[in-house]
Amino acid sequence: MATNFTDELMVPPGKKHMRLSKWDPDDTLGWEKDHKTKSSLKKSVERLDALQYLLYAERKHALLVVLQGLDAAGKDGTIRHVMSGVNPQGCRVTAFKVPSGEEKAHDFLWRIHNAVPRIGDIGIFNRSHYEDVLVVRVHNLVPRLEWATRYDEINNFEQMLYQNHVRILKFFLHISKDEQKKRFQERIDDPDKRWKISKDDFKERNFWDDYTTAYEDTLRRCSTEEAPWFVIPSNKKWFRNLAVSHIIVETLESLHMKFPPPTVDVKKLKWK
């Protein structure tokens, strides 16, 4: 099945209205969970491995992948399945938790900039700078005037990264409230997954509508040509992995990367 996942799932830059209710978290763009889909994911992961090697060799760009979503949306699972074939030497995952004392002493983007991948590398953010217009907003951690200015600051920051050859892909893993409940219950029922459950998970469900509104504003205001947002229907984990992997591959292929020439004349090398 020929599907351009980038075009299908991107939030159009400049979009004036954004309602997540119009994005079906069960959507699969016509794909089914069968051997063809499994084969497509396998080929995509293998292609990503080859493209990462090329990215590392050419050293003209970096790739930053941002994963956002409500609790149990599948950020960890996406990383585990989509990035399973890449070389850890050229890929770094950063999970952003509550800011430390040192981080709070700086501007909100300071800790983010420190984690931006080097040229030639892939960086993955498990949560990101967007927490400062999401959880900060929902829980009134700073005055409205302060978080409201951060959208433009984030856009300017990401544009600066783009101008310095960092390509940015931002994925919102979209699940339904019922699906989140189901996944929480699975964690409770599975002794090997109970460690993932916390009281905060259930507390945050009370703010579902507030988070939805915050995400809608974020997706609308911060999907740009330089750093687009994608809404990934994620009720079905297999489709989530398929879509994210294809978008990453499509983006890397659009860079038209080439291996650099050798630094020595290989014809003159002599074996002893």
Per-residue pLDDT of 6-16, as tens digits, reads: 999 999 999 88
Give the per-residue pLDDT at 272.
77
- Dist CA 196 CA 71 (whole Å): 10
- Dist CA 161 CA 158 (whole Å): 5
Q: Identify the sign of the CA torsion 215, 209, 232, 116.
A: positive
Give the per-residue pLDDT at 266.
81
Give the per-residue pLDDT at 183.
95
Tokens for 166, please give them.
């960092």
Average pLDDT, integer, range 218-241: 98
CA distances in angstroms from 13 to 104, 133, 154, 229, listed in the order given:
31, 18, 15, 8
DSSP strands (E only) in the chain: 62-68, 91-95, 122-126, 166-174, 229-233
- Dist CA 249 CA 104 (whole Å): 36
The model carries a pTM of 0.96
pLDDT band at 36 (very low <50, low <70, confident <90, very high): very high
* 59-69: pLDDT as tens digits: 999 999 999 99
Give the per-residue pLDDT at 1.
64
pLDDT band at 267 (very low <50, low <70, confident <90, very high): confident
Average pLDDT, integer, range 207-219: 98
Average pLDDT, the chain: 95
- Dist CA 70 CA 175 (whole Å): 8
- Dist CA 62 CA 118 (whole Å): 6
> Which CATH superfamily groups domain 35-257?
P-loop containing nucleotide triphosphate hydrolases (3.40.50.300)
Give the per-residue pLDDT at 262.
87
Provide the angle, in degrees to the nearest 10, between the axes of the packed helices 75-82 and 35-58: 80
Give the per-residue pLDDT at 147.
96
